[in-house]
Amino acid sequence: MLVFSGGAGDEALELAVGHALVRRVSDGQVMEALRVYRPAAPVVVFGRRDTRLPGFAAAVRAARAAGFEPLVRAVGGRPVAYTTEAVVVDHVKHERLAPEGMETRFKEFGVRYADVLQTLGIDARVGAVPGEYCPGAHSVNARGVVKLVGTGQRVVRNGWLFSALIVVGDDARLRPLLSEVYGELELPFDPASVGSLATEVPGLTVDTVERKVLDAYGATNPQPLDDATLTLAAELVADHRVSA
């Protein structure tokens, strides 16, 4: 398995890298790859269907007013927000019967991320909490009360992309913004559902979390992104920007 780390420097390009990787596994150019990176700037990432809601333009304005760049992702789900105090994981694999394993992957990766958090001293559990942002049955929460990790998938011909967002900190900054964004979109949301790893374990750093994730995958010697992936990502980046 190829292992990549390090950011691309542009948050739209970061999303496009995941998009490029899943295309490359679909074509058989890459068999399996893991990418772990830290965002370089705060963003609100919308799902494709969010862009069709009447309140989307207002939600975009709210994100920008708060200093967050609005973007659109390839995988499904509802809006998420994060800052530099986060770790993002993209795992792609070439697999002929990819659609058949969707539910199994959600379960297995949910348990994997809960296990990682438990090694950090967090009472981590798999499952949605009431009113969470981008709700999912295989989110990872703390104490059954606050969401810490969101997961999503994109399945393509002969391949899949599994993404995870681990919120390490800045939950106090995320709550009011997500409240406004979800309010504009007229989607259910409870700000009390937003948590972070550093709130659960004060002093926890992004460095520590990133190392724990890489260890959980048995990933050693991460490499910078290859030129072929970056070139394709540059061609796809416009798909992830918001012009409104």
pLDDT at 243: 81
Predicted local distance difference test score (pLDDT) of residue 220: 86
For the record, the structure tokens of 240 come out as 């992830």
Q: Which 3-state string (H, E, C) describes 142-161?
A: ECCCEEEEEEEEEEECCEEE
Q: Do you know the residue count of the chain?
A: 244
Beta bridge partners of 89: 36, 164
Question: Among 132, 87, 131, which Cα is nearest to 113's?
Answer: 87
Assign residue 144 a region: left if phi > 0, alpha if psi is -120 to 50, beta otherwise? left
The CA–CA distances, whole Å, from 67 to 2, 40, 43 equal: 34, 13, 8
- Above 80 in pLDDT, residue 119? yes
Contact 75, 50 (CB under 8 A): no
- The answer to whether 118 touches 178, Cβ cutoff 8 Å, is no
Helices 227-236, 11-26: axis angle to 10 degrees equals 110
Query: What does the alpha-carbon distance between residue 31 and residue 93 come to, in Å, rounded to a whole number?
Result: 6
User: Can you point out the beta strands (E) in the chain?
Assistant: 2-5, 32-37, 43-46, 69-72, 80-82, 86-94, 124-126, 140-142, 146-156, 159-167
- 76 has a pLDDT exceeding 80: no
When pLDDT is averaged across residues 200-229 and rounded to a whole number, the result is 95
Chain Cα centroid distance, residue 201: 21
CA atoms 50, 51, 56, 61: torsion sign? positive
Determine the Cα angle at 191 with ends 189 and 197, to 5°: 120
Q: What is the pTM of this model?
A: 0.96
CA-derived radius of gyration, the chain: 17
Q: What is the arithmetic mean of pLDDT over 221-240?
A: 95
244 pLDDT band, cuts 50/70/90, is low
Q: What pLDDT band is residue 113 in, cutting at 50, 70 and 90?
A: very high
Contact call for residues 122 and 141 (beta carbons, < 8 A): no
125-156 pLDDT, tens digit per residue, is 999 999 999 999 999 999 999 999 999 999 99
Element (H, E) at 238: none
Task: Please give the pLDDT value at position 121.
Answer: 97
